[in-house]
Structure 1
Amino acid sequence: MFDKYKTRFRRLLSRKQHEHYESESLLNSDSIERLEVYAEGLHDAHNVVYWVFVLYGVAMLLPWNVFITASEYFAKRFAGSSYDETFQNYFSTYFTAANLIVFTYLLWQQSKATCRVDILWPALINTLIFGILATSVVVSTEGTTYFSLTMILLVMTGATTSYFQVGVFAEASRFPPQYIQAVMSGQGVAGVAVAVASILSAFAGSATDTPDEAGVTRSAFLYFMSAFLITVAALIGRVIVTRRPFYIRQMNMDPALLSNSPLDEDEIEEQEQLLDDEQRFFSNNHSDNRSQQQQTELSIFAVVRKSSGLVFAVAYIFVITLIVFPSITALIKSVSRHLPATTSAATTPIYINNNRFLDDDVFVAFHFVLFNVGDWVGRLLPILESMRTFKPKLLVWFSLLRTIFVPAFMLCNIVVSDRKLPVIIDNDVVYFLIVWIFAVSNGWLGSLTMMAAPQQESIRSPAEKSLVGSVMSFSLVAGLALGGTMSFVIRSMV
């Protein structure tokens, strides 16, 4: 690589007399220093940028996970109000609505090149939000007043999460594909951490004990402080990563240099001409008029058309996931506690043995852990070349194959008072095996589709790569929202 730059310098020095000014311009101390930074940024030293993107993924999903995990705490704080039994519905509806509305606005602005999202600000706002929530644990406000405060903070979090997602995936799309995998892996870590906390909390009590109020409050405080510390870490990571030569090089590279394929002689000559305009490499403002014109003319519909298969695939993957998880899977109980033969609705557990694991609270909590660990494993698989494919048609077919999980879970031991379907899968081990395959396929295919979009041959410019990353992220969120809505239909069919 350094020999290539030496060759370029020799060519510059050998130019004709009328090109002397251009040579001096490139060989002044400032240019040499910038080229040294550019050359130094060929590699992600110590994988610092990669791990910061993993941290971004954790910080991206943690806000919503904290709100749903602290449900017992919120139930106690809202007790006596008109929201004590419906607050989770309000949480889901308002968070998703704020997330999608802001996401849509940001995509529209990004397609016009009038919006450049800096993830520093949403991370800072989330830090303040969780600082307030952690402080509110020791405040005596309850009922409707506390519900109003919580909903304001929740809506703000939904909005800032959209900003954070757009910014992170737009940046990660300019890097090699493993950096999108890093974000997806971080999201998996957040899910695992919350699920493990839930099952530990379940094991701490018994199946019949009412949770201690002081213990619930203490757990909520720890959840909020964990979210606070993670967002602070994301802020620190942001400051560190923006000073890394590898990050600077990737974010300011010319479109032609985004390819990892070898350059031929004509391309080398073209790159030499592009070196004359240093701002194309090193200025975040992209002040080049032609570049601005290209960004202004960027069409979100053209990007969606180029990536239509992957846009559908990533949405469908998460539609199928949210249709049954957790709305259906949380109703599936151990066959040792609820005999499958009682198809009419015997919801009272039968204690045939004293195995704590088979109790409803631990059994359901374990399935959350199993899903989140499997999902995380799936998100790690694309690191291996043998487990990676970026073929849109193949990914679409894989996503469609996951439809089989819907009837599979519906035929498990679902315990509800109005069950209509027979129990065909009446074995706990088989049920957990289905959960595992379901989870791994979700993480694996979700990561692959997100990684594949910026790597398409039709997506060439940095602006398009950033926009397709945002479009895919929006499609993922839309899939979650649609799947959650459709889960009510599936629930009525059980």
Structure 2
Amino acid sequence: MTDLPAKYRAVSSSADQAYHSNDHASEAGVSGDEPYSTIEHIPAAARTRWTYFLLGCAILLPFNALFNATPFFLSRLAGSPFYSTFTSYLSSVYTLTKLVCQFYCTLTSKQSSSSRRISLSITAMTFVITSLCLSTFIRGTPSTFFAFVLFNAASIAIAASYLCTAVYAQAALLGASALQFMLSGQAAIGVVVSSVQVASSVIAIWGSSPKSVLTVAMRANDRTEETAARIFFGVSAVFLCITLVVYTRLMRQPFHKPVTGAMNHHPGDGTPDERIGLIADQRRIASTDSNSHVYRVFGKNLIFMFSIAYVFVVTLAVYPAITARVRPVDPSIHPLLFTAVHFLVVNIGGFIGQSSCSFPRLVVWSGRKILVLSLLRTLFIPLLLLCNVERSATTPVPSIIHSDILFMIIMLTMGYTTGYVSAVALLAVSSLEHNPRLGGRREDVDVAATLGGSCMILGLALGSLSSFGVQAML
């Protein structure tokens, strides 16, 4: 993956020399004064980018692990009054908790160490995922299990909020390349999880009829979901541990310290002795200054923030609430496998969409053009409602699209545009060169990127609520 030009970056000059010196030499034709040779620089840059790729995976892995284990959760709640509404409760608790916490983390992003937030949040998520793994060995009452899962969902949402804001801010300071790798990691983890789901579906339906598979899936004492959840939670916990170790080692590298130092250091005027007397005053005004800073950046970049949020409003309004109810037109295709494949197709589209932003010619920098692309995605809602969706006998919306291939093409396109539009909006809003709304202020870059990540969560929450209205049309 090639780097974007050095002019897109927003780290301090010392950090530029330590991390981006090779880019200046190759792209701008200027030799830097960095203490690292080209041979040393290449593995340093690659190590940094792939570390942020892992961090991108870690941001969404707990979310995917939580919702991928829904069959296991439902098997423990079978026969209880919580069974029919559990999925709605789970998604609502997660998205609303993360929305509130993300807002707080964004406002306080300048008041604490981003490196410390990343380390502590990954540690917290590891403990939560481990507790969910241990729950597969223990059986209790449905009400206790219901409360346990929702508590863990809220805990994951809180930890993920701290992780998301800190990673977005650091990646933005490192430049477009690191930010792109982080976004690709988010998309890649979705592909991996969906691939596991498809493989599990193939194993489940092997040699069985659709009716028999659905019957087995509804049995409360079935062990398949329990074993699958145990393995997935265990692998997720191990992956988070590996990510924490890799990130900790990166933080100790000399070539990365200028970047974290530029972000975690809050400069002041005067000598050290003079600054000691100002600590009390600085603490009193820090919160006010930080809040006004965030509001100013948000207001000036509202067009990007709306575009990012609306991308996920449209996506979550129909996916998976409506798309999971689409049934194959071909009777030889098993519905369980059909649904699993459609998840995989969407995630592959998202991965391709985000990865395509690594090619500079495909990146759109104009805020108005990005807004138009975001608004055009509204067309996916009526398109999917016209597919072969399970609907009531009195629904006014007919089924017109009777093609499994066309449905998958629509899902691939929706996934691609979700990844592409959200990625270009994040790249554009944090670009000093292409976003005049930043006014050349480097201190606004990480705030803009963090706000963009927060708008993603806002879009997810609003989209989840919108799905109830879309489902009412069926």
TM-score by length of 1: 0.78
Counterpart Cα distance in 1 of 2:301 and 2:37: 31
Q: Secondary structure at the match of 1:421?
A: coil
Q: How does 1:32-431 map to 2 (within 5 A)?
A: 36=35, 45=44, 47-110=46-109, 113-117=110-114, 118-206=117-205, 207=210, 208-209=212-213, 210-211=216-217, 213-253=222-262, 284-289=264-269, 296=289, 299-337=293-331, 355=332, 358-418=333-393, 419-431=395-407
Q: Which residue of 2 aligns with 1:347?
A: none
Is it true that 1:467 corresponds to 2:447 in the alignment? Answer: yes
CA 1:415–1:193 in 2, change beyond 3 Å: closer, same or farther? same
The structural deviation recorded for 1:78 is: 2.3
Query: Conserved in 2, the CA contact under 8 Å of 1:412 and 1:431?
Result: yes
Number of aligned residue pairs: 413
Query: Conserved in 1, the CA contact under 8 Å of 2:92 and 2:461?
Result: no
Q: Secondary structure at the match of 2:173?
A: coil
Q: Which residue of 2 aligns with 1:350?
A: none
Which runs of 5 or more residues in structure 1 are unaligned?
6-33, 254-282, 338-354
Counterpart Cα distance in 2 of 1:245 and 1:389: 34
Q: Secondary structure at the match of 2:227?
A: helix
Q: Secondary structure at the match of 1:178?
A: helix
TM-superposition CA deviations, 1:4-59 (whole Å, max 9, x none): 99xxxxxxxxxxxxxxxxxxxxxxxxxxxx97379999766251111111111111
Which amino acid is the alignment partner of residue 411 of structure 2? V
Query: Conserved in 2, the CA contact under 8 Å of 1:399 and 1:445?
Result: yes
- Give the RMSD, CA atoms, in angstroms: 2.7
Counterpart Cα distance in 2 of 1:62 and 1:93: 18
Is it true that 1:446 corresponds to 2:422 in the alignment? Answer: yes
Query: Conserved in 1, the CA contact under 8 Å of 2:430 and 2:445?
Result: yes
Which amino acid is the alignment partner of residue 299 of structure 2? R
Q: Secondary structure at the match of 1:36?
A: coil
The structural deviation recorded for 1:80 is: 4.2
Counterpart Cα distance in 1 of 2:79 and 2:330: 36
Counterpart Cα distance in 2 of 1:238 and 1:92: 29
Q: Secondary structure at the match of 1:288?
A: coil
Query: Conserved in 2, the CA contact under 8 Å of 1:41 and 1:246?
Result: no
TM-superposition CA deviations, 1:366-414 (whole Å, max 9, x none): 1111111111111110111221122211111111111111111111111
Counterpart Cα distance in 1 of 2:139 and 2:386: 46
The structural deviation recorded for 1:285 is: 3.0
TM-superposition CA deviations, 1:414-452 (whole Å, max 9, x none): 122343212222221111111111111111111111111
Counterpart Cα distance in 1 of 2:254 and 2:363: 28
Q: Secondary structure at the match of 2:98?
A: helix
Counterpart Cα distance in 2 of 1:40 and 1:476: 38
Query: Conserved in 2, the CA contact under 8 Å of 1:73 and 1:217?
Result: yes
Query: Conserved in 2, the CA contact under 8 Å of 1:180 and 1:447?
Result: no
The structural deviation recorded for 1:327 is: 1.0
CA 1:422–1:84 in 2, change beyond 3 Å: closer, same or farther? closer
Which amino acid is the alignment partner of residue 253 of structure 2? R
Which amino acid is the alignment partner of residue 196 of structure 2? A
Query: Conserved in 2, the CA contact under 8 Å of 1:382 and 1:444?
Result: yes
Which runs of 5 or more residues in structure 2 are unaligned?
1-12, 15-32, 276-281
Query: Conserved in 1, the CA contact under 8 Å of 2:309 and 2:455?
Result: yes
Which amino acid is the alignment partner of residue 363 of structure 2? R
Greater mean deviation of Cα atoms: 160-169 or 45-54: 45-54
Counterpart Cα distance in 1 of 2:147 and 2:467: 27
Query: Conserved in 2, the CA contact under 8 Å of 1:38 and 1:245?
Result: no
Counterpart Cα distance in 2 of 1:246 and 1:44: 11
Counterpart Cα distance in 2 of 1:38 and 1:287: 30
Which amino acid is the alignment partner of residue 124 of structure 2? I
Counterpart Cα distance in 1 of 2:286 and 2:430: 18
Query: Conserved in 1, the CA contact under 8 Å of 2:91 and 2:464?
Result: no
Q: Secondary structure at the match of 1:449?
A: helix
TM-superposition CA deviations, 1:254-290 (whole Å, max 9, x none): xxxxxxxxxxxxxxxxxxxxxxxxxxxxx94334338
Q: Secondary structure at the match of 2:175?
A: coil
Which amino acid is the alignment partner of residue 360 of structure 1? P
Query: Conserved in 2, the CA contact under 8 Å of 1:42 and 1:249?
Result: no
TM-score by length of 2: 0.81
Which amino acid is the alignment partner of residue 114 of structure 1? Q
Q: Secondary structure at the match of 2:174?
A: coil
Query: Conserved in 2, the CA contact under 8 Å of 1:40 and 1:246?
Result: no
Query: Conserved in 2, the CA contact under 8 Å of 1:66 and 1:224?
Result: yes
The structural deviation recorded for 1:221 is: 0.5
